[in-house]
Amino acid sequence: MKDEMISLETRMLTLLHRAREERDAAARAELNALLRSNAGARRLMARLLADEQAIVNCLREEGIVALLDPAAAAGGPVAPIKLAARPFAWRRALAAAAAGLVVGLFSASLVYGLVMQRGLVNEGIPVPLADGGFESGVEPAAEFVPARTGLWSGDFATLSEGGPEMVPSEGKRMLKFLRTDNRLSPAGVMPSAGELWQVVDLTEARAALGHELAVIEVSARFNQAAVSGGEKTAFGVGLMAFSGSAADAPAVWRERRELALAQADKEELADAEPGTWQRLSAQMTVPREANLLLVQIRAVRKGRGPHSPVLGAHFTDDVRLRALDRPSAETAKWR
Amino acid sequence: MASQFDETRFIEALTRHQPALEAFCYANVARREDAREVLQATCVKLWQKAAEWNPETAFLPWAFAVARFVALSHLRDKMRDRLVLDEDVVLAMADDAEAAAVAFSARREALEHCLRRVKREQRELLHAHYIEGRSVRELAQSAGRGESAVKMTLLRVRQLLSECIEAQLRTAS
């Protein structure tokens, strides 16, 4: 119930912002429809607005104190706007505590994400992911992090039915990483990783599950065709939870150190066995305030010096998401 | 017109309850500039009706009734696209707005505590947005960040303040 309220609060604050600041008529209509039909939403909205007024009231009072007594107000808030590079230690601490994972408080390297080794223990329940097997025939977009749910987007990649050098792990198709850049990449930048992302709506996943989402796991299979030259490559999977709208995903990814509510990641060097697929997985505790998830799969050049943006011998297939009741303690480690 | 004695009581009550009244106005119109107009008009109306108030009865319910009338009148006068909440929604929210305004002083007190835990940069952001009225776009431009990032930051701080207020109130009770 409490989680539903937090999700509702996120939704209403987002709609309120869009209706007020962006003059978004659709958001305004949605907000009013929600308030008409939902008594809990009306109660919450009244509280949110009164709290907003309280914020104004407190800050205004502090401003007056600062004017009347600058010494007393030293350390107070009245100053020109200047966003800090890392304004979220406090938020992280509360979010971590809210998730019941206080260990995160003492970790310098963000979050309460979990990284799984091979060999999962509990079975879990599948969480819908669009075209995880790359069988739909829809090519991924090459436009950085997608701003909507239900598609793969990222760096240049293509669907492949395979050939003598590689066959799909399952089904008829797999995904072939082509380059480490995309249509929106700034000129002159040579990233070392070819990445693809998908935004997943956790609200839908929670509804489909019929209960709260505690831990989520992403897994994918990777393979590398025989390559000459010997440059090392790694494969990776990642998860990032955030709240907001899918349209925020590109911005959240760019500023993930501050804006991610939780992250988990797993990377492993590509082996030299094209005949077998490597399976990687990462688990993450889902903060209750998160309503969206960003799934990432990648192939990374690990050699030193300038990288060619061209990949082409790197494949992934069978990307899956599943909900688990709890992390498998035997195989998980704190990140 | 109210007697001199009543007028003193009235001024005292209006002064004491003005923050809650302002919160009530804001909960009805959801936009700062509209709330200021409604509050101003409400105070004028309350002054005009001061003689009708019985100092032996609670001030706020009476003031809320007047404010609701003023807010609805304000909503009808405004262009629809300038408003956040539709009139029927404001009517449906009437009891909730009143309850939120009644709880205002306790929540404000809790918030004061919570704001002390917010980093200076976050307070500056809140100040710039809610007091100076700077839009997310302006804030993003001046900070060299994306609009979505600033929007998300504000959303996050709001959520954490909400949580903190609830926790404070639970502790207090």
* pLDDT at residue number A105: 26
pTM above 0.90, yes or no: no
Q: Give the span between the Cα atoms of B60 and B18, in whole angstroms.
A: 9
In a domain, A267, yes or no: yes
Could you tell me whether strands A332-334 and A113-116 are parallel, antiparallel, or unpaired per DSSP bridges? antiparallel
CB contact at 8 A, B26 and A49 = yes
Q: What is the mean pLDDT of residues A303-330?
A: 77
Domain edge (last residue) among A89, A121, A153: A121
CB pairs under 8 A between A and B: 208
Is residue A118 over pLDDT 80?
no
Residues 6+ apart with CB under 8 A from A8: A38, A40, A41, A44
The 10s digit of each residue's pLDDT in A162-220 is: 888 899 998 899 999 999 999 988 887 778 899 999 999 988 788 777 777 778 899 99
A160 shares its domain with A306: yes
Q: What is the mean pLDDT of residues A38-44?
A: 93
* pLDDT at residue number A132: 94
Residues 6+ apart with CB under 8 A from B170: none
The 10s digit of each residue's pLDDT in A262-292 is: 888 888 889 888 888 999 998 888 887 788 9
In a domain, A273, yes or no: yes
Is residue A154 over pLDDT 90?
yes
* Residue A330: how many other CB atoms lie within 10 Å: 9
* pLDDT at residue number A37: 94
Categorize the per-residue pLDDT at A298 as very low, low, confident or very high, splitting at 50, 70 and 90.
Answer: very high
Closest-CA residue of A relative to B117 is: A90
Mean pLDDT taken over chain A: 77
A74 shares its domain with A198: no
CATH number at residue A288: 2.60.120.260
Question: Which of the 8 DSSP states describes residue A166?
Answer: B
A160 shares its domain with A103: no
Domain edge (last residue) among A75, A106, A121: A121
In a domain, A106, yes or no: yes
In a domain, A153, yes or no: yes
Which among A84, A251, A255 is the nearest to B121, CB-wise? A84
Q: How many domains does chain A have?
A: 2
In a domain, A115, yes or no: yes
Q: Higher pLDDT residue, A11 or A258?
A: A11
Domain edge (last residue) among A106, A121, A136: A121
Q: What is the mean pLDDT of residues B3-8?
A: 63
Is residue B65 over pLDDT 70?
yes
A104 shares its domain with A172: no
Domain carrying residue A100: 2-121
Instruction: Identify each DSSP E strand in B4-94 by its residue range.
Output: none
Categorize the per-residue pLDDT at B91 as very low, low, confident or very high, splitting at 50, 70 and 90.
Answer: confident
A172 shares its domain with A315: yes
* pLDDT at residue number A323: 87
Residues 6+ apart with CB under 8 A from A96: A102, A103, A104, A105, A111, A112
Widest CA span of chain A, in angstroms?
79
Which has the closest alpha carbon to B162: A123, A10, A115, A127?
A10
Categorize the per-residue pLDDT at B79 as very low, low, confident or very high, splitting at 50, 70 and 90.
Answer: low
Q: Give the span between the Cα atoms of B146 and B117, in whole angstroms.
A: 25
Could you tell me whether strands A215-224 and A193-201 are parallel, antiparallel, or unpaired per DSSP bridges? unpaired
Q: Higher pLDDT residue, B126 or B32?
A: B126
In a domain, A335, yes or no: no
Share of chain A above pLDDT 70, in %: 75
The 10s digit of each residue's pLDDT in B125-172 is: 998 888 888 888 889 888 888 888 888 889 889 988 999 999 999 987
Which has the closest alpha carbon to A95: B165, B160, B154?
B160
* pLDDT at residue number A155: 95
A263 shares its domain with A284: yes
Q: Give the span between the Cα atoms of A12 and A36, in whole angstroms.
A: 13
* Chain A partners within 8 Å of B19 (Cβ): 53, 57
A259/B103 CB distance under 8 A: no
* pLDDT at residue number A74: 47
* pLDDT at residue number A69: 52
* A9-12 own/partner pairs: CB under 8 Å, 24+ apart: A9/A44, A9/A48, A9/B159, A9/B162, A10/A243, A10/A244, A10/A289, A10/A291, A10/B155, A10/B159, A11/A291, A12/A41, A12/A44, A12/A45, A12/A48
**What's the gap in Å between the CA of A253 and the closest CA on chain B?**
10
A287 shares its domain with A222: yes
CB contact at 8 A, A195 and A155 = yes
The 10s digit of each residue's pLDDT in A63-101 is: 665 555 555 444 444 333 333 333 333 333 333 333 323
A49 shares its domain with A141: no
A57 shares its domain with A142: no
In a domain, A192, yes or no: yes
A57 shares its domain with A130: no
A251/B147 CB distance under 8 A: yes
B155/A243 CB distance under 8 A: yes
A96 shares its domain with A214: no
Q: Give the total residue count for chain A.
A: 335
A260 shares its domain with A289: yes
In a domain, A215, yes or no: yes
